[in-house]
Amino acid sequence: MRLRHLLAALPVLGMLGGAFFADRTEPYVLGLPFILFWMVACVVLTTVVLAVIYKLDPANRSGE
C-alpha cells in the first residue's frame, strides 16, 4: 500500500516542486517555453502514474 501512496505523490511534487526549477522562458522544447512544456509533461506523466496505480491496486484485479 505504501508504494501506491508514493507513486501518487510524484505528480504533485512534479507540478508544484518542479515549477520553481523549470521557471524559464528561454529554452524552447517542441515550440513551447520550458515551463509550459514542463506542465504538459507532468499532466501526461500523471496519466501514466495513475494507470500504474490502477494496475497495482488489488481491488481492481479481475477474477474476483
- Average pLDDT on 54-60 reads 81
Whether 31 is in a domain gets the answer yes
Domain coverage including residue 34: 2-58
Whether 63 is in a domain gets the answer no
Whether 40 is in a domain gets the answer yes
Whether 64 is in a domain gets the answer no
Whether 39 is in a domain gets the answer yes
3-state secondary structure 2-49: HHHHHHHHHHHHHHHHHHHHCCCCCCEECCEEHHHHHHHHHHHHHHHH
> pTM to 2 decimals?
0.72
pLDDT digits (tens, 9 = 90+) for 1-53: 678 888 888 888 888 887 777 776 678 888 888 888 888 998 999 999 989 88
Residues 42, 64: Cα–Cα separation, whole Å: 34
Residues 53, 64: Cα–Cα separation, whole Å: 18
Please say if the pLDDT value at position 63 is more than 70: no
Q: How many domains does the chain have?
A: 1
